[in-house]
Amino acid sequence: MEKTVPFDSSTLDGLLQEYPTPFYLYDESGIRQRMRDLVQAFSWNEGFRQYFAVKATPNPRIVSMLRDEGSGADCSSMAELVICDRIGLSGESIMFTSNNTTSDEYAYALQMGAIINLDHPNLIDTLLAAGGMPETIAFRYNPGPERTGNVIIGNPQEAKFGCTRQQLLAGYKRCKELGATHFGLHTMVVSNELGVQSLVETAEMLFELAILIKHELGIELEFINLGGGIGVGYRPEDTEVNLEDFGARVHHLYDNKLLPAGLKPRIFMENGRTITGPFGFLITRVINCKETYKKYVGVDACMSNLMRPGMYGAYHHITVMGKEDQALTETVDVVGSLCENNDKLAVDRALPKVEVGDVLVIHDAGAHGHAMGFQYNGRLRCAELLLKPDGEVEQIRRAETLDDYFATVKF
């Protein structure tokens, strides 16, 4: 089964004449439509908002595009806050969810008016030192043995994120005493989840916790952030989450649990992967083929361009351009040039006969792809391009140069 691409061979040929491989190519139409589909799925909730997880694709042009579609930004670092600041996002359009956070980071987030989502009550003092208790505060909940996670985040009991139920209640109580008047709740239990039931169970858990918080503390949560975690169908046979079904099932829970308890919170989400992931492609060229105990296809991209396969053993589908209809006659490892044996973009992958000069399209690389890049072996980060709805292509990040690499050192 083959995956499709939103560009034709002539478009790609033109780009290859202008830009050296490897490079990333994002599909603007696909990203905008996915954002609209998510908003539509939760349109029943007055005040619903999606906060794009900037960490997934931290390019200002992408974040600006989603801002224009009504998205806020979910930030976890100073640099991500700076991106928002420079493109004009501020106030409640920013959710600042970080862990092991410094006072400087909190000070900047407070200056921008961001919603502060605390990882643990022990960060209250850090927040106070940074500028005081804001009117609006939220906490990240870690359900521990209540839930099971998945390979990316891990089981909640083993995860470094969030706080326990008792810590959560103590944190709300102290923040209320310190002057906070508006409260929210957040969790992030799974990542890259294709099972709707798991996502719905997260909503149910948070809704029941919201009722407990009202009963125990008299606090009526004004928003509940369901987190992100909606997965991507990386394999051709995968079935992606039906957003309309997901929204409808959360709506049912909302009406049957929260409304009878006198609660009408806004629903927030902070998806990154599902918004940009399927609409980004890593374009790379075959530069070497060899056979020892296995067959290897060497390309000019490497793990520093796309870390997920080497880090998680993640699958990314690969199309050999111009050979989409040919039989899959070879089983190969697609590898880069790093001095690490896990520098593999695919392992034991069935492909058509591949030759030096062939162009490979690596699918579903639009999230946690370029963002996780690094410079081991002096490999430079590649360019990012945006395919616009009219067919034009805009460079939204140039490729790094050796001057960039050496800019911070002294010889």
* Annotated binding residues: 229, 270-273, 308, 312, 340
10 Å CB burial of residue 256 (0-12, 13-18, 19+) is exposed
In angstroms, the Cα distances linking 359 to 200, 286, 399 are 41, 6, 19
Secondary structure, 3-state, the chain = CCCCCCCCHHHHHHHHHHCCCCEEEEEHHHHHHHHHHHHHHCCCCCCCEEEEEHHHCCCHHHHHHHHHCCCEEEECCHHHHHHHHHHCCCHHHEEEECCCCCHHHHHHHHHHCCEEEECCHHHHHHHHHHCCCCCEEEEEECCHHHCCCCCCCCCHHHCCCCECHHHHHHHHHHHHHCCCCEEEEEECCCCCECCHHHHHHHHHHHHHHHHHHHHHHCCCCCEEECCCCECCCCCCCCCCCCHHHHHHHHHHHHHHHHHHHCCCCEEEECCCHHHHHHHEEEEEEEEEEEECCCEEEEECCCCCCCCHHHHHCCCCCEEECCCCCCCCCEEEEEECCCCCCCCEEEEEEEECCCCCCCEEEECCCCCCCHHHCCCHHHCCCCEEEEECCCCCEEEEECCCCHHHHHCCCCC
Whether 73 and 79 have beta carbons less than 8 Å apart is answered as no
Catalytic positions = 339
CA distance 3 to 9: 15
Pairing of strands 223-225, 266-269: parallel
Q: Which residues are annotated as a binding site for pyridoxal 5'-phosphate?
A: 229, 270-273
CA distance 54 to 73: 6
10 Å CB burial of residue 345 (0-12, 13-18, 19+) is buried
